[in-house]
A and B are shown apart, each in its own frame.
Chain A
Amino acid sequence: MAVTSATPTAPRRKRAVTAGFHLGAGALAVLWLLPIALVLVTSLRSFDDIAAHGLGSWPQSFTLGNFGQAWVDGGQQRALINSLLVTVPSVAITLALAAMAAFALSRYELRFRRSLLLLMLGGNLLPPQILLIPVSKLSELMGVYDTLPALIGVQIGFGVGFYVFVLHGFMRAIPTEIQQAAVVDGAGPWQIFWRIILPLARPALAALSALSFTWIFNDLLWAITVLRSDAKMPITAALIGLQGQYVSMWNVIAAGSVIAAAPTVAVFLRFQRHFVAGLNLGAVK
């Protein structure tokens, strides 16, 4: 980590600054990565090893059995499938709906378009607590309480406003001329949307997909509001359950945490650029 970019001819002062930078930033990075390393190491140790030497000791054993235990006995396999069954459709539908609304609001002179945009954003900014009780009662009323579609529905409804707002900003920046040319060629709104605006909005859509995947996948509050049975819970809730089931068996709990974090870390590592862009797109517009 202490590689310096200074060349032999560079002044000594500059080299010292560079070394200082790497020392400081390196220490910070280690501090930040330490808890993650701790979980990874703990997930690979045996229970007896941890019981005998403590969580902070140097590992004296190596096993992959904890993952099997969390995966099968701890019900993480089912929970992970539940999470993906909720997350993937939620992300896809939310973004599709948001892209439609953003297209209409940004490319057409609708009445009240500004108010509508803000109404939708405002819905997303409401604290979810005010919605919890009515949403759980509503899903009972609609007969979908304790089903995954209820969770998908609420994720879509609660998320869509924010994505409309972000995509609206992005789509407005697309030059009018492109659209006018298409209109002259006889393209209808659907063709303009599908063939012109959507492909141009791809960077924003990629960024928002990466972002919303982690948000929805990591959600706990909505899941425990509209779901009841353990068999339907997503991975976040299952992880809490795992903690109750394997009290102080930190090897299994750590393995469970690794399983729960793996999908979002994979998305992050694969789409890091989009991911960071997404956060900025949303906020520093």
Chain B
Amino acid sequence: MAVLTAPARKSPARSLPRGRRAGGPRRTPPLVLAFVLVPLLAEAVWVFWPALQGFYLALTSWDGVSPPSFVGLGNFREMAHDDVFLSATGHTVLWLVLFGGLSALLGLGAALLLQQERRGVGFYRAALFLPVVFSLVATALVWQAIYQPEGVLNQLLQSVGLGSLRHAWLADQDTALYAVIVPALWRQIGYVMVLYLAGLKGVDPALYEAAKMDGANIWQRFRHITVPQLRSVNAVVLSVIVIDSLRSFDVVWSLTRGGPYHSSELLSTYMYSTAFQSLRLGYGSALAVVIFVLAFGVIASYLVRAFREAD
């Protein structure tokens, strides 16, 4: 970070339009440097330094009290035989596909349905969007009331004559994970919809006009205009979804804590309970590294995109 204090390059001649963007003075004033350094310091203390430590701790065995002992790749070798880890990884992948895929598809569907400005459309958009502002904890509690053995869902099933489907949705190993995905989707779809709505607004209407003239039907217009035009939004949605999936914690933690018998365990909840409840901080760090590696591909591609846009 010391590089920052190096003086800014001097431009050879005043008249050269080098500062095409930054119209400021050629030499960086100290205040401007401070403007960058202070926030960077805040992030360094709470993010960069802890991240480096996290990578180191992944190579240790540590109970949080006695000094950590270095075990090299031992934690990662242990994972290969850890059934809970393996099933949590499977659940995380399933979560990515189901939660991610469905929120992208349904979010796009909702955006297509609600894209046209017409009477009442603002209300519908707001209704779909409202859950985005709820905390996942509050969301989870709402759905817990719905999933209870004596809850709304079972009462509903009973009243329409499907009483045989009554179920302890969250307590059953076969349904817990899927039952947790539904509230997560309920909250995420509105968010994805907003992203797609903005993307659809950016499509030039002349393209549709031209296609109509050429006799393209509604499906052809969607397939050959909308889909290609949404390519950059798709990239954003994909990044948001993967990052959100790997971070997903609150909703699972407040609904099931990963249970019953780890049947709704994600890597994030397993990492948390390993570290802070079983106090196996080294192994927990190693699990965090796995989450990091899974997220890294997406982060990297997101950064590459940002890199291109930043200049």
On A, residues with C-beta under 8 Å from B are: 1, 3, 5, 18, 21-22, 24-26, 28-29, 32-33, 35-36, 38-39, 42, 54-57, 97-98, 100-101, 103-112, 114, 116-118, 120-138, 153-154, 156-158, 160-161, 164-165, 168-169, 172, 176-177, 179-180, 183, 188-190, 192-193, 214, 217-218, 220-221, 224-225, 235-237, 239-240, 243, 248, 250, 253-254, 256-257, 260-261, 264-265, 267-268, 272, 275-276, 279-280, 283-285
Contact = CB atoms under 8 A, between A and B. Distances in A.
Contacts of B120: 1, 3, 22, 25
Contacts of A248: 148
B285 A130 contact: yes
Nearest to B254: A240
Interface string B46-81: 111111011101000000100000000000000000
Nearest to A190: B31
A100 B151 contact: no
24 contacts: A5-B118, A32-B127, A32-B186, A39-B142, A100-B36, A109-B8, A109-B19, A109-B28, A110-B32, A117-B306, A127-B246, A127-B295, A129-B268, A129-B287, A130-B291, A138-B49, A157-B46, A157-B47, A180-B23, A183-B24, A192-B24, A218-B136, A221-B249, A239-B141
Contacts of A264: 133-135
Interface stretch (B169-177, B193-201, B219-227): B193-201
Interface string B27-53: 011011101101110110111111101
Given A100-B35, A221-B249, A236 B4 contact: no
Nearest to B307: A118
Main secondary structure, interface of A, reads helix
Nearest to B295: A127
Contacts, number: 345
B203 interface: no
B132 to A, nearest CB: 8
A194 to B, nearest CB: 11
Contacts of A221: 249-250, 272
A256 B138 CA distance: 9
Contacts of A126: 47, 51, 292, 295, 299
Contacts of B134: 218, 261, 264-265
Interface of B: 3-4, 6, 8-9, 18-26, 28-29, 31-33, 35-36, 38-40, 42-43, 45-51, 53-55, 57, 64, 110, 113-114, 118-121, 123-124, 126-138, 141-146, 148, 150-152, 155-156, 159, 186, 190-191, 194-195, 198-199, 202, 232-233, 236, 240, 243, 246-247, 249-250, 253-254, 267-268, 271-272, 275-276, 281, 284-285, 287-289, 291-292, 295, 299, 302-303, 306-307, 309-311
A220 B151 contact: no
Given A35-B146, A56-B159, A101-B38, 19 more contacts: A38-B146, A55-B145, A100-B39, A106-B21, A107-B22, A110-B36, A117-B306, A123-B43, A123-B48, A126-B292, A126-B299, A129-B291, A133-B57, A138-B53, A176-B22, A177-B23, A179-B23, A183-B24, A284-B236
A257 B309 CA distance: 41
A176 B152 CA distance: 59
